[in-house]
Amino acid sequence: IPVTALSENNAMSYLSQFGYLPPTNPTSGGFITQETMTKAISEFQSFAGLNVTGDLDNETSTLMSLPRCGVKDKVGASSDGRSKR
Amino acid sequence: YALQGSRWRVKKLTYKISKYPRILEKSAVDKDVSRAFSVWSEYTDLTFTQKRSGQVHIEIRFERGEHGDGDPFDGPGGTLAHAYFPVYGGDAHFDDSEHWSINSYRGTNLFQVAAHEFGHSLGLSHSDVKSALMAPFYRGYEPNFILDSDDIQGIQALYGQQTLSSSGSESTDTKVNSKTTVPPPGEEDTQLCSDSKIDTMFDSAEGHSYAFKGDHYWKLTTDGIASGYPRLISNSWHGLPGNIDAAFTYKNGKTYFFKGSKYWRYIGKKIDGDYPKDISEGFTGIPDNIDAATVWTGNGKIYFYKGTKFWRFDPAQRPPVKSTYPKLISNWEGIPNNIDAALTYHGYTYFFKGDMYYRFNDRTFSVDVADPAFPRSTAYWWFGC
């Protein structure tokens, strides 16, 4: 299903950037299933030590808004990892 | 901790800051970056040397937005920096749009972020341990930063504490050696062997003996100096200055350091409260600028030495220093005045002065008669020269 809410868009972008979702495909508009989104959120919550709800709750959104390192948390699940130039 | 899967195959690594941040002085950045590397060299025998030009292992750049690697920075907040694992070159990039700061609660602390990124440069991925440096989220300025045990286990899983046999190649994605190896006997230390006069010597609660001299310290083994030393005092005991006058570890397991009119208290290498404090406040009756201090295991009392005199301090008594003190060091047969350091070790008290040391026998109250005679060479008998 389309992820339309702004916060979910941001979350999708975040989860994609840090290795929990496949990189967003600009030609397909970034559509993913809710199941995939829930699973990605759950994985992020688990890694970050939050309650694993699968929902984009306040705690999860807050953590996603914190300054952080740009290196992926998960390497290999959604990409080949960081390559140099 | 999590290992990415690659590591450096050489232990002497070089780095270069190719592009400095706009808002900080270069010399301050150099210092903080060096300190950030020391976080990792503290627990391995890796060394990091800054170069100004030419080829280096790790290139550091402060950049804004898109900067040529296809991973643009996003302005203030959000992503602060990123770095490449060894197999991809080890370079570290910092978002120059951030308000980088040094030793300040304002802005984003450069030292902490740099230390984190260099963890990636060395092969560590993000940890799911919240207290770890390698956790991905910036947690604010920590004035008394200490590397988490999770990070230490991670870096030592990659590099151990032993010299790795170099194959000549600089990076590899081969499997890492997950065993932490025992450090080999240290090589002769040029600094201590050429001038073995020290500032202070003490035993930690964990039973390690340390020698302090200037801004550096050495860990002693039964054979001499442990490998990977000297290290910077300030990198291990955060907040502690160099040129310490005296130190001892009391029976409560806490280590006390003295310099000038001040003293500091640590548990291991973690400062134990709001220090420094005045010696006159915590050790009433003891003068400033002491030469040395020891705890006599026989009675738990603390002995302070300065010039020609010594004071006995008993924390359980009021006043802690009796009116009969100070007394003359010359009362203790064979011990010189103006000592540099003193240490209680294996039931004896050792006094250090210049390049020599004396072993004092608490039962005979005199310097031991032995062959070879005391004083003996500190360099030879203590530092393995």
Q: pLDDT digits over B114-149, tens only?
A: 999 999 999 999 999 999 999 999 989 998 899 998
Give B172's pLDDT tier (boundaries 50, 70, 90): very low
Q: What stretch of H or E contains B356?
A: strand B356-361
CB-closest option in A18, A73, A85 to B68: A85
**CA dist., res. B108 & res. B166, Å (int):** 37
Has residue B305 got a pLDDT over 60? yes
Nearest-CA residue of chain B relative to A83? B88
- Whole-number pLDDT of residue B196: 94
Q: Enter the tokens of residue B21.
A: 């941040």
Has residue B180 got a pLDDT over 90? no
What is the rounded average pLDDT of the residues B269-287? Answer: 94
**Per-residue burial over B67-79, b = 16 or more CB atoms within 10 Å of its CB, e = otherwise:** bebebebeeebbb
**Per-residue burial over B210-231, b = 16 or more CB atoms within 10 Å of its CB, e = otherwise:** bbbbeebbbbbbeebbbbbbbb
Residue of B222 and B235 predicted with greater confidence:
B235
Q: Is B117 a catalytic residue?
A: yes
Partner-chain contact A69 B125, CB within 8 Å: no
To the nearest whole number, what is the mean pLDDT of chain B?
Answer: 88
- Whole-number pLDDT of residue B365: 79
- The contacts of residue B177 (CB under 8 Å, 6+ apart) are B160
CB-closest option in A68, A72, A82 to B88: A82
Residue of B160 and B291 predicted with greater confidence:
B291
- Whole-number pLDDT of residue A1: 37
Has residue B171 got a pLDDT over 90? no
Which of A23-27, B162-166, B193-197, B298-302 is predicted most confidently? B193-197
**CA dist., res. B282 & res. B244, Å (int):** 17
Has residue B176 got a pLDDT over 80? no
Choose, from B63, B98, B117, B142, the residue flagged as catalytic.
B117
Burial of A26 (0-12, 13-18, 19+ CB in 10 A): exposed
- Whole-number pLDDT of residue A32: 79
Partner-chain contact B88 A83, CB within 8 Å: yes
